[in-house]
Each structure stands twice: as structure tokens, then as C-alpha cells.
Amino acid sequence: MTKISFIFVAIALTFSTSILCQSEATYAVSSSAPGYKVNGKTSKTKSGIQIPLILNSGDEGVDMFGKTVNELLVDVEYETEDRLHVKISDKAGKQPLVPDSPLGFERPRLSSYAKYTNYDFLYTAKPFGFKVVRKSDKIAIFDTATLPIVFEDQYLEISTKVPSDANIYGFGEVTAPFKRTTNVTTIFARDNADDMYRNIYGSHPFYTEIRDGKAHAALLMSSHGMDVVTTEGRITYKVIGGVLDFYFFVPKSGKPNDVSIAYTDLIGKPMMPSHWMLGWHHCRYGYKDIEAVETVVRRYKESNIPLETAWVDIDYMDETKDFTVDNVKFPLDRMIALGKNLHENKQKYVVMVDPAISANTSYSTYTRGVEMDVFIKNPDGTDYIGQVWPGYTTFPDWWHPNATEYWTREIVDWVALLDLDGLWIDMNEPASFCLGSCGSGKVDAGKQPYRWDLPQDVQEKNHADQEAALIAMGNPAGETRNLLYPKYAINNGAGNLSEVTVAMTAVHHGGIPHYDIHNLYGHAESYITRNAMIKHKENARPFVLTRSSFIGSGTHVGHWTGDNHSLWGYLKVSLSTVLSMQLFGITYSGADVCGFNQNTTEELCTRWQAIGSFYPFARNHNAIGQADQEPYLWESTAEASRRALGVRYALLPYIYTVFEESNRLGTGVWRSLIFEYPNQNELASNDVQILVGTDILLSPVLDEGKTTVDAQFPKGIWYDWYTYESITVKSGTQDVTLDAPLVHIPVHIRGGAIIPTKTPKYTVDETYETDYNLIIALDEKDQSTGRLYIDDGDSLKVESSSDVTFTYKNKKLTATGSFEYGSPQKISTITIIGKAAAKLSSARIGKTDLKLEQANGAAVIENASIDLTQGFTIKFK
């Protein structure tokens, strides 16, 4: 088991015990299935080979959970030197695929295929099985040979061998340690408050394995619900529909970062945030009125805790209906004035919008949707009406030809009215509080009591009535599958697949059952909402934060990890959930700081603010009915926030440069130590320390009552951010106990790095108005390198930028690269840290002497005023 705190162990063991008791059948593998054999000749294609399969003879193990498909095709495509595509599908082509569109997955259009690859594809004819072998070391990275493939219309199963105690990362979205242990990971989008090990909001059937210091990865491109069983020596997929559509990633280097590059080459590179998005955000669900929001903004300023963006949850809405305001508690003029005041102070403004639309004929957003016929349907063709915050609600069908026009108008008009800087889209799994179309025939019924507010006997009767009505409604026309109760029941935390969401028998445009595209709903909304924001401001990077996500969502939106809890175990696991999102290509991500549900404490919130200040997306947020947790409420929390955010804002140029690399290449912004040091297997389970990029190491306190941190340091020199004291590790890794009083988070700079910084101010804009500074952290050879990317910080289409590489070697600092950004930029302070820095006494650029002084064990040049318009060299003595 991964090293985790006692409280997390308690939570995890309690919960996983119940999972194991409930899911013995889930762990079972269908070894009695007949499997398949090659049927005739394999044929060459322009991209690889095609292998026809037919079911092996025998009655045993047929039609276990669905109707067995007798004839299959295996299409093997050597797409690139590091990417292999293996699709096992039904010969008749009746099994649904992920739609080939931006609302699903746009398949690559390749004009040529790889002649030379880093992998081999091998197979056996009878029974059919295949291996993907890495050429460099002949290791089979995916091997189905030991267990038969099962292919039924509502059940597919395939297994691969892995080493015992394999280093597997990914498979989500799930609240769990970063390294996957023996467990069932269910992938099926669900509105759930972050239960440990249960399926929650996103759907990402992707994993990376690090074996013997080399990484590879596999993606199952599927929008169907599934269980992924990770157990000793095996990974087994159990999928309730579709086909087995695999992509394998085998970079020649074997580096985990190169796996991320290869993966995002396929699914799309992560979005590039604007400068302001990297500032500190604050929100809560449960603001009583607009004055409460204004008070929070004011008190942040009075406490000198940086606040970049004020958020408002559904509290502002009239009866929680989208695109409306409560004219008593959040009057329109005050909402508009809030945005104006924020903008005057160089701050930003974000509100929430849900996909569910109140079914009320006095509500224009609903009537326009009815007129354009854009809502999800029942099998009989009527609008599907569930229940969300406003009462009975309809749900936009993003696949309908009119849906984009409909949603774009609503979004653009609303964003323009309030002058918003971004949107937050929630409840888009989609969530629904009743079973089936419980609002059919009840349009205009108004806001209804939520089921959890009703007596237990009433809840049970309502549920029974709703289930009976759902069954009576039947399947969509021509559908023979059991969409409501497939014979194989994935380990869905809600039980019935149609609980707390739209029913699986609901129908999307083209007659597509919700069963087949459920996991795509939030992803599709994200794409359409992003484009609506671009229509509002064509050349501003759009800000959209989503709860539900799918493969490739990170190209369009950011993500927060949902409704976590104010518990120490959730503070700890927040690091692993953000790390997992980095793997999935959603690098702009973070968790609710101080926790969403339950009441935080001063100590917990203080420690959470310290590490949460460094989440790629950093926001404090909590739930209605919970105690206030603004960081200014406790002096220790306020001080920890000022310190940590001071470091974050100083590091903004570095963080922005790391994001540019993420956007261009696909690498993570937050990285686990094992992903940077894959040969150090002792780091494999460390998900309690974080690397920001390659050069900044965070070692937070994550346990109650502790004032020290037991940290692991890889080989090299590591400098304390605050004092420049160094830790030198000559080989392997070294365990070090770090002092960490309540208001302090240990931060270290990797020796060999040059870190661009700014002087931290209250807002991001004000911070960026200061000159650049450089911290040169020398390695054991007294050398270092670094990079700085500069653009205007907001344009969707960047017209001018600078990309500067700094190198320090042989007592010379050189700057090379492109210097094309139009606005004047200067370097003011240069700080060199390391033993050799103490020997430096003077510096010169060209024929100009620079004043160099020794301070705190560092060599410092202040007021250098070096223009970043061309390359330069500084010589030191």
C-alpha cells in the first residue's frame, strides 16, 4: 500500500473492505470463455494488418453477460514510431464506437504511417492473443496470451499480464493514491462527493506503467462504463459495450514525460491558461447575498492575501435557474457592479452555469430550447425531464444540430451582460436527483423538494414509482440490449446505472441511447461552451472549468476534482488526484482548498492553503451549511497563505513557462518524483511530494499535529527557497526530515536550474508589471540552465513571443533564443546560489560593470536593468 496517513488508511480500509465484499464477481476473470481464433488469411493494409477472427468452438462461456459476437476483425495500425493502434471490433460493425467528432474523439487523419517503430506487434492464431513488445529490451508491455478475449454486445473482457507490484498510474477519475494497488476502478461518470475508490465525475481509461525505469502507456478508447481490475500480475478490463479500441504508447527513450507527449499527440495538447488564471481564486456555495461576496473581496484585500478572481456559485440565480439572478439577494445591477469593481482593481469574475434547464414555460431559456428541439428525449419522443436544482429540468442534447447555436446564444448573452471573465460548468455527468423522466407531464410544476429532504418512506415509494415508470417506458425503437440493467453490473457507486443521472434509455439525436455516450456528456458541453466563450471574445483565451471530463477534455477546459471533504485524508489524496489529472492531459486542475464538505479546522485549512497555493488551478471553495473557511479568518492561515502565495506569485514566470511547455508538448505541470526519476523505484509510491515542472520541489505537511516533514530527495543538490541552504544527494535518494512550523511549506530549487521570477504583488497583473529576476541554482559542476517564455498572457492567437534559454557555465551567464515579444521587458535582479557563488566578486555585461554583492550565502546583482530584446552574456569573476 502507498504510504499514507493514518486517517487516510482508516477511510480507505473501511471503504475498500465494502468494495471487496460487494465485488468478488468483479474480480473474477472469465477463463472459461472459448476465446477466438484466426479465421482465414491476415491481410495487409496501408496502415498495418487486418486479422479476421471467429469464435472458438464450444458452448461453455458463451453469452455470459450478453449476446456473443461470433466474427471479429482486428485492425492493427502502426500509426507512429511510438504509437500503435489495435482495434478489435465486430465484423458487422454494429457495436457503437466513440463518435468521431469534437464531441467524442476525433480520430487522427494520417497521410503516412510508421515504417520503423519502437514496438513489435505479435499474435497467436489459436487461441488468438497478442503482445505489444518494446523493441529496446524485448519486454512485453501488453500481453493477452494467458486469458481469452470475451466479446459480447454488452460485455467485453480482455486482460494483460503485468509484473507483481507493478508501478501503474492512471485509470480514473477516482479519489485514491496515485499508484494503483489491488482494486476495482470503475469508470462511469457520476455525481458523487469524492468517495474514496468509487467512480466519480470523469472517465479516463488510460494508464502509464513504469517498469525497470522505462515507461509505456495504454488507452482504451471507450465511452462505455467499465470496471478495470488491477490485481497482482494482471490488469483486466470489463466493459459493458462498444469495442476494444486500444492505443499503445512506447517512446524510444522510455521517459514518462515522453509518454505524456505521445499521449497528447493523440488526444490533444492541454489548454494554455492566461496569466490571470494562474492567480488565486475564491468561492463558496452558500453566499447569502451579493454583500457577502463583496465582503470576501474586501477582507482579502484588508488581510493582504492575494485574490485574483471572485467566484459565485448557484446562489446568485433566481430559483437556481441558469442565466437569471435573484433580484432580492443578487440584484442584476449589483452583480454587474461587482464585475466592474473587480475589473477596476485588475481582478476577475467567474460564475457557475449548469446544463440542466428548468422545465417552465415562463422561462425563456427553456422555451427557446423547446422551439429548437434541443433537449434529450424519452424513447417515445417526448422531452426527457429529470430533476436538478430548479426542480424538473430538461437536458440539452449536445449532439443535436441546433444545440450549439442554442447554447452559444445563452452563454454569449449572459457573459456579455455580466462582463464575466470565465464560466464554471457543474453537474454535467449529467446529474439528476430522481430516477428516469420523473418530470414528464409536470412542466411548470416549479421547484420541487429534493429527495433527501423527504421522509424515508416517501423516498422509497417515489423511487419505486419512478423505476416502474422507467421500465414501462421501454427501450428506444429497435434496441434489443438491456440498457437499464445489463447482466454484468459494473461496480457503479450509485448501483443502478440510471441513478443520479439521465436514464440509460434516454435518446440523443440520431437515435443514440444515453447508455452509449453517457461518459461524453460533460466533455461535449465543455467543447461547445469553450467555443461560445471564444465567440464572445475572439482572441481571448477562454476560461471554462468543468466537473465531468473525458479523454481529451484538457484541450478545451480546466477541471477541479469535485466535492471533497475537510479531512486530513482528503488533503493528502488531493495531491494524487491532481497528479492523475496531469496524466490525463488536464494539466490546469486543482482541488477545493480546505475541503468542500464538512467543517475545516484552523490547522487543516492552514496546511491546505500552503500546498493548495501551488495547485495548477488554485481555489478555496466550500459547501453551503459548512463553517466559513476564508483564509483571513485565522491569523495562522492568513500568514501561511501570504507566504505560500508570495512564492507562487514570484514563480509565475516559471509556472507560465511550464504551462507553455505543457501546451506545446503535453507534459505535466505538476509531476510526481517517479516520473522525473523513473530509475529510482523507491520513489514509486511517493505521492506526498510534488515537482512543479522539473525544478521546484514541494514537501507539504499533510498530517495533523506535525511540524516536520519526512521528505525524499533525489540525486543532486537541492536549495531551500527561503534560505538557500542546500541538501546534497550523491546517489540514489536521501530521506531528510525538514522543519515545517504551522505557517511554513518547504520549497526547494533543483541545483542546475535557472528560475525566472517576478516580485510578487497583490494581483497577477501587478506582479507582471515588475521586472524579471533570475535565480541561478548551481549544480555539482557549478552549471545551470533555464528557460523563460513570454507573450502577452491572454491572446488565443499569439502574434509575438520570446523564448529565452539561460545557461550558466564557466562563470558566464548567456541568454539565447528568440526575442520577439513587442513590449519592453527587463531583468532586474540576478541571484546565484551554491558554494561557488561565494567566490564571485564582480560581473560585467559587455563593457559595463554590474554591482555584485554577497548576501545570505548568494551572489546578487540588483538593478541590472538588462533589456530582454536580444541575447546577452554576463561574465563573472
Catalytically active residues, by annotation: 426, 429, 563
H-assigned helices in 23-145: 24-27
Residues 6+ apart with CB under 8 A from 239: 155, 156, 157, 220, 222, 224, 225, 226
C-alpha cell at 869: 530584446
Supply the DSSP string of 729-753, one letter for each residue.
EEEEEEEEEEE--TT---EEEETTE
Q: Could you give the 3-state DSSP secondary structure of residue 825?
A: coil
Q: Which of 145, 167, 174, 165 is nearest to 216 (CA)?
A: 167
- Residue 46, Cβ neighbours under 10 Å: how many? 8
The answer to whether the beta carbons of residues 359 and 393 sit under 8 Å apart is: yes
231 burial level (CB within 10 Å; 0-12, 13-18, 19+): middle
User: Which uninterrupted H or E stretch holds 848?
Assistant: strand 848-850
Q: How far is CA 142 from CA 90, 165, 702, in A?
A: 22, 16, 36
Place of cell 527587463: 826
- Asked if residues 806 and 788 have their Cβ atoms less than 8 Å apart, the reply is yes
What is the number of other CB atoms lying within 10 angstroms of the CB of residue 811? 15
Q: For residue 413, which of 424, 402, 403, 405 has the smallest C-alpha distance?
A: 405
Q: Give dist(CA 792, CA 796) in Å, integer.
A: 10
Residue indicated by cell numbers 478555496 = 620
Report which of 223, 754, 167 is spatially closest to residue 523, judged by C-alpha positions: 223
Instruction: Please choose, from the candidates 744, 699, 702, the residue with its C-alpha nearest in 3D space to the C-alpha of residue 718.
Output: 699
List, as one string, the DSSP characters of 374-416. Answer: -B-B-TTSSBP-EEETTEEEE-B-TTSTTHHHHHHHHHHHHHH
- Residues counted in the chain: 877
Helix or strand or coil: residue 809? Answer: strand
Residue type, 553: S
Rg of the chain over all Cα atoms, to the nearest angstrom: 28
- Nine cell digits for residue 44: 495487409
**Quick one: 111 exposed, middle or buried, by C-beta within 10 A (0-12, 13-18, 19+)?**
exposed
Which triple of cell numbers denotes residue 108? 487522427
| 301 contacts 294 by C-beta, under 8 angstroms | no
341 CB neighbour count, 10 Å cutoff? 15
* C-beta atoms surrounding 235 within 10 Å: 22
CA distance 604 to 704: 7
- Position 64, amino acid: M
Write the DSSP symbol of residue 572.
H
Distance of alpha carbon 693 from alpha carbon 115, whole angstroms: 33
Please list, in sequence order, all residues whose beta carbon lies within 8 angstroms of the beta carbon of residue 830, skipping any fewer than 6 positions away.
773, 774, 776, 813, 860, 861, 864, 874
Q: In angstroms, how far apart are the furthest CA atoms of the chain?
A: 88
Query: d(Cα 2, Cα 19) in Å, to the nearest integer?
Result: 18
Lookup: cell for 831:
541571484
CB 509 within 8 A of CB 517: no
Task: Report d(CA 705, CA 535) in Å as an integer.
Answer: 50
Can you count the helices (H) and strands (E) in the chain?
16, 49
What is the residue whose three cell numbers read 488554485? 618
